[in-house]
Structure 1
Amino acid sequence: MERDFFQHVGIQAPVGPTRHCKGWGQEAALRMLMNNLDARVGENPQERIVYGGRGRAARSWPAYDKIVESLLTLENDETLLIQSGKPVGIFKTQPQAPRVLIANANLVGKWATLEEFDRLEKQGLTMFGQMTAGSWIYIGSQGVIQGTFETLAALARKHFDGTLKGRLYVSAGLGGMGGAQPLAAKMLDGVALIAEVDAKRIQKRLDTGYLDVAYDSIEAAVSRALAAKQAAESLSIGVHCHANALLHYLITNQIIPDVLSDQTAAHDPLIGYIPDELDVSEALSLRHADPVDYLQRARRSIAHHVQNLLQLQKAGAHTFDYGNNIRREAFDQGVTDAFDIPGYVPAYIRDLFNQGKGPFRWAVLSGKPEEIYQLDALALEMFGDNPLLTRWFTLAQKYIHFQGLPARIAYMGLGERDAFATKVNEWVAQGVLSAPVVFGRDHHDTGSVASPYRETEAMRDGSDAIADWPILNALLNTASGAHWVSFHHGGGTGIGYALHAGAVVVADGSEDSAGRLSRVFFNDPGIGVIRHADAGYDLATQTMKAHEDRMRAPFVGPNTNIPMI
């Protein structure tokens, strides 16, 4: 074998047109799994942690080795089953079936609590896959940032004049998700001031261009932010401190941000949130020595955190929850007005979901950055009439540093994703690109999630907790021929609060891939449009009707309260 696929240090995906597996579906899964555990991409590869507290790509190193071995030998009419990060079976299926099916962290409803998950995880029976960690399609902060860009752009349109110029955005958390915040605000001409307790995360964001400057002093950081705001300068600033320390300073000094949020991993208070009185090393020690005490401290800090957010909101800051379940954690600690803070999806993103728009992403298996730029040019040619998308691709080329396999993300809608992906498949067939391209998305999408405190918060028909939709999404993507399909519990808002699905297809230039790409990347956002039309959103109904030649809805809402007898 030309390379050691079983090394556990310095993991990097192979690149180029040479296959190591028996098909490109298996090869793409292998490379994306390895890319997740590349130190340039994942947060803590030594523990197989990719992002989001403890979101892992594999349950154990022996499980990882068996996954790799299975992918290397998997036939083109076989399907590998992954149960919470562990390979458990290979079955004969059919050539157009998925090569891999993944289920992570799923628990029966009554047992779907963090405490029960922790107990089962300690016994080695399950694994938290977050959203794209355990489904092998995470691409680092380069895969998160456009969603943050779209959110802040929608906020700017709603509250300001379409720009963040001369505005101050304050938040916390510079991990795999939150690390996108400072650059997204800067790309919209604003000033970002982000608290982070882990100095290593701050340094990583400086190294990769997501931060311009960083300070250990809150006073110095705030002073620099206010000067940049006054000068209408675009600037991203990190400050090494707890979120509450920064918020307390702002409150004490009567400094009101224009925009306020949080992206700490509060959905996993044991692993993802560090209590106010502890530094990173102290937190690690207490987490292992006394997890009960740790959770109590973390939850007290979270409650205080939300109280500070509420106080600044009442003083005039446009404040929103960024999908990390921090409001629910605080509410459970007695902060009864926690939900006065709106969620970002109903506040800013739902109209995008109504149009089938969401976090579509791709990675070039050639490893060549210039091929991403070729695809940028193709996207601009195909969708140049969209000014926000045009701005996004232009700024992404200027600011985004690649992590691991070069990749890109774009919020494309119904009829756009499949058109783009199939054109790219033609380019692979024609040799315009030197190797295949992997297409997937975040699980945070229009029809793939049931999450009442994030994606499905405040649905018009009250269907926030109906989880049939992500299950149907996974089944539809399996029937449509995605190369791998996943179904997870708990990503984004934590165990007990979300169910969600993912799908990935590789464009290898074949007719087989052309069919898969066309079906999956129309049907996948299509079910999201139907889901929202069924809930009574007129924009979704209009979107659906514009594509009636490719999908039909036998009965679409708005739902009525018909009692079941």
Structure 2
Amino acid sequence: MTPKDQLLKDLKIGCGKPRPVKAPTGSQLHCKGWYQEAALRMLCNNLDPDNGENPDELIVYGGLGKAARNWDCFDAIIKTLLDLENNETLLVQSGKPVGVLTTHTAAPRVLIANANIVPHWANWGTFHELDKKGLIMYGQMTAGSWIYIGTQGILQGTYETFAALGQKHFKSDLTGKIVVTAGLGGMGGAQPLSVTMANGVAICIEIDPSRIARRLEKRYLDVEADDLDAAIAMARKAAADRKPLSIGLCANVGDILPAMIQKGFIPDVITDQTSAHDELNGYFPAGLSFKDALTLRKSDPDTYKDMALNAMADHVRAILEMKDKGAIAFDYGNNLRAQAMKKGVDNAMDYPGFVPAYIRDLFCKGEGPFRWAALSGDPKDIKVTDDALMQLFPKKTKMINWLKMAQEKIEHMGLPSRICWLGYGEREKAGKLFNDLVRTGKVKAPIVIGRDHLDCGSVASPFRETEAMKDGSDAVADWALLNCMTNVASGATWVSFHDGGGVGIGYALHAGQVTVADGTDEAEIRVTTVLRNDPGTGIIRHADAGYQTAIDVANEKGVKLPMINMHGERP
């Protein structure tokens, strides 16, 4: 039996039914090239039971964030990738493979578009109508673009946020400080470990007991409290002892925050990372048990959505009250504030989003989430890349500390992977380094390099990444499209463009890229070009908006800015 036939058998391709999926590993090809092989393995990795949140339904994370539209589509994508030539490009429309075109060897092997609806109709109502007809799929950010690497994927970004918060508000880290938040799903599950990495104490509220169990098992969460009083007592003791601790509390955040206020417990920091962008599938109304909420969600979705939105309004009111009583409040990009505004909370925006509050200065430098996965399946390959990066950037002490913590604290989910934030110029150096590691055999198989769509130049999202832009260009989506086209032109292995992300249909447009380092000269050109130009669009975007830091970086790094040149503002 050929490797291809064996893989078809192992993945039960053609059965059209839910089943456990694991990415093939090792150095043996099943496809006609490593670019197709990488796409196949990363698609499977998204649905690995150790990785995806609800793989039987093809859901990876974030409410409805899926990797493929249905199991027949998944099977067809796999079969197409196995036969795809090195001068062909597969087109995927909302999780459904719709065509193969003859392009050229330097073109992307896959182009993906997910949940993009003409703006006038871009809302959840239209989406759900199309979804019922089997015409569309919600791709979240990295679910439908096949570069999800488990909760680690958002972990460093969350850590960067809490670290920046500590410096801004406390002139230190989070030692002795208590953070209250909710949501322990694929994104929110990064919060407890991120807070403890910043030396803080976290109370994480989650209504689904299986999610708490999963975070405990993967060591993202330290302990579970029996009730609110126990959680508060544990948090206060850990803060007094100046010891990091993360505490899970199985409850509905809508019930817990008012109870905290009534008890006179106001945390140092209050935020939230439930999937509030999707009022039907991502949020649980207050006053209902987990089981009763799931029943109502199916039996009466309209009532459920109305109850969820009302609960979100009360949720935001509680956050605002905690803010008024001294807590540092920030929105973690799940559109909770905008949802609350639908139910009359006109001052919901009185607390800021995390990007303008803590991350934008990094974006101005081209900093963002650089992630990679070892297609060999061997964790030792990630150790090799970690060590090589620390040698390549010996002065990036923050990155080095992060990588050391990650080696110690993070358990791989699916294919071994890593993430760290790198800036403009650094990403292309890292890409060449990884390609050299493959070329010289220091790692056992090619390395996939990608990122979250949450990056410096790839998103238009007025309630998240582009909130409160200096020039008022929050809702201008041209930049995300330019980023997408730039990555196609630069030779990314696969490129995606989505609507929705973490804030919901109609609220964001965003692009993603994934590029494969297979040790060849061609791959070196691809990875260095993509990893230079991809964050380069972020420098241009923020320089155009008037951020001096971005203009200075462009001047220093040689990023050409025609309009600024014309006005003589730089040589």
With normalisation by structure 2, the TM-score equals 0.96
Alignment partner of 1:529 is 2:535: no
Assess if the C-alpha contact under 8 Å between 2:192 and 2:220 holds in 1: yes
- The Cα offsets for residues 238-287 of structure 1, whole Å up to 9 and x where unpaired, read as 00001122212220111111111000000011000011122222222211
Write the deviation string for residues 114-145 of structure 1: whole angstroms up to 9, x where unpaired: 11111111111100000000000001101110
- Give secondary structure in 1 for the equivalent of 2:29: coil
Aligned to 1:444: 454
CA contact (8 A) 2:316 2:340 kept: yes
Equivalence for 2:554: 544
Whether 2:185 is the aligned partner of 1:181: answer no
Q: How does 1:220-299 map to 2 (within 5 A)?
A: 220-299=230-309
Equivalent residue for 1:562? Answer: none
Aligned partners of 1:171 and 1:193 also within 8 Å: yes
Map of 1:2 onto structure 2: 6
Spell out the pairing of 1:21-32 with structure 2 (5 A cutoff).
21-32=31-42
Opposite residue 415 of structure 2, the aligned amino acid is L
Residue from 130, 138, 161 that aligns with 2:140? 130
How far apart, CA to CA, are the structure 1 residues paired with 2:87 and 2:529?
Answer: 19
Q: How does 1:359-398 map to 2 (within 5 A)?
A: 359-398=369-408
The answer to whether the 8 Å contact 2:254/2:285 transfers is no
Percent identity over the alignment is: 53
Equivalent residues in 2 for 1:21-170, closer than 5 Å:
21-170=31-180
1:101 aligned counterpart, secondary structure: strand
**Is residue 343 of structure 1 aligned with residue 347 of structure 2?**
no
Which secondary structure state, in structure 2, belongs to the residue aligned with residue 361 of structure 1?
strand
Offset of residue 557 of structure 1: 9.7
Distance 1:367 1:22 in 2: 20
Q: How much does 1:391 deviate?
A: 1.4
Q: Residue 214 of structure 1 contacts residue 239 of structure 1 at CA under 8 Å; is this kept in 2?
A: yes
Match of 1:194?
204
Instruction: Answer yes or no: is the 8 Å Cα contact 2:470–2:546 preserved in 1.
Output: yes
Report how far residue 108 of structure 1 moved: 0.4
CA displacement 1:372-401 (0-9 Å, x = unmatched): 111111111122212221211111111111
1:554 aligned to 553, 558, 562, which one? Answer: 562
What's the counterpart of residue 486 of structure 1? 496
3-12 or 197-206, which deviates more: 3-12
Q: TM-score, normalised by structure 1?
A: 0.97
> 1:212 and 1:369 mapped to 2: Cα distance?
23
TM superposition outliers: structure 1 runs of 4+ over 6 Å? none
**Amino acid of the residue matched to residue 270 of structure 2?**
L
Q: What residue is the counterpart of 2:435 in the other structure?
A: 425
Deviation for aligned residue 1:301: 0.6
Q: Deviations over 1:324-365 (max 9, x none)?
A: 000000011001110001110000000000000011100001
Deviation string 1:460-497 (CA, Å, 9 cap, x unpaired) is: 00000000001010101000000000000000110110
Distance 1:218 1:430 in 2: 55
Task: Please say if residues 530 and 556 of structure 1, whose CA atoms lie closer than 8 Å, have aligned partners that are also in contact.
Answer: no
Whole-Å separation in 2 of the counterparts to 1:24 and 1:283: 45
Instruction: Say how many residue pairs are matched.
Output: 557
Instruction: Tell me the equivalent position of 2:310.
Output: 300
Task: Give the Cα–Cα distance (whole angstroms) in 1 for the partners of residues 399 and 323 of structure 2.
Answer: 30
RMSD of equivalent CA atoms: 1.2
Pairing of 1:315-354 with structure 2 (within 5 A)? 315-354=325-364
SS in 1 for 2:562: coil
Alpha-carbon separation, structure 1, partners of 2:188 and 2:437: 34
Structure 1 CA distance, aligned partners of 2:101 and 2:309?
44
Q: Distance between the aligned counterparts of 1:176 and 1:352, measured in 2?
A: 24
Paired letter, 1:80: L
Helix, strand or coil for the counterpart of 1:236?
strand
* Structure 1 unmatched runs, 5+: 560-565
Q: 1:469 aligns with which of 457, 472, 479?
A: 479
Residue 312 in structure 1 maps to residue 322 in structure 2? yes
User: Could you list the runs of 5+ residues in structure 2 that have no partner in the other structure?
Assistant: none
Aligned equivalents of 2:50 and 2:308: distance in 1? 29
SS in structure 1 of the partner of residue 563 of structure 2:
coil
Q: CA deviation at 1:556?
A: 4.0
